[in-house]
Amino acid sequence: MSSEERKNYNDYMDRIIISDASALINLNHINKIYFLRELFSEIYTTNEVKNECHFELPIWIKIKDPRQTTLNLLDKKGIDKGEKTAIALAYEISIKYEDRLIENKPCLILDDGKAKKKYDKLKLGVESINTSDILGFAFDKKFFSKEEGFDYIKILEKNKCKCKFKEDTINKIFNINIKQEKKR
What is the number of structural domains in the chain?
1
117 lies in a domain? yes
3-state class (DSSP) for residue 165: coil
> pLDDT by residue (tens digit) across 129-179?
989 889 989 998 999 998 898 889 888 888 877 666 767 667 777 766 555
> pLDDT by residue (tens digit) across 26-37?
999 999 999 999
Answer whether residue 102 shows pLDDT above 70: no
2 lies in a domain? no
> Angle at Cα 53 formed by Cα 6 and Cα 152, nearest 5°?
45
- Which pLDDT score is estimated for 99? 63
99 lies in a domain? yes
121 lies in a domain? yes
- Which pLDDT score is estimated for 108? 92
- Residue 81 to residue 91: CA distance in whole angstroms: 15
- Which pLDDT score is estimated for 14? 84
Which of the two residues, 3 and 179, has the higher pLDDT score?
A: 179
Answer whether residue 82 shows pLDDT above 50: yes
> pLDDT by residue (tens digit) across 83-100?
999 999 998 888 876 666
CATH number, domain of 101, equals: 3.40.50.1010
Q: Express as a percent the part of the chain with pLDDT over 70.
A: 82
Boundaries of domain holding 159: 7-183
pLDDT averaged over the chain?
Answer: 82
20 lies in a domain? yes
Q: What residues contact 77, with CB distance under 8 A and at least 6 apart?
A: 84, 118, 122
- Which pLDDT score is estimated for 2? 38
User: What backbone torsions phi and psi does residue 127 show, to the nearest 5 degrees?
Assistant: -70, 150
Assess contact for 43 and 61: CB atoms under 8 A.
yes
Q: Is 19 left (phi over 0), alpha (psi -120 to 50) or beta?
A: beta
- Which pLDDT score is estimated for 161? 72
109 lies in a domain? yes
Answer whether residue 40 shows pLDDT above 90: yes
3-state class (DSSP) for residue 65: coil
pTM, 2 dp:
0.85
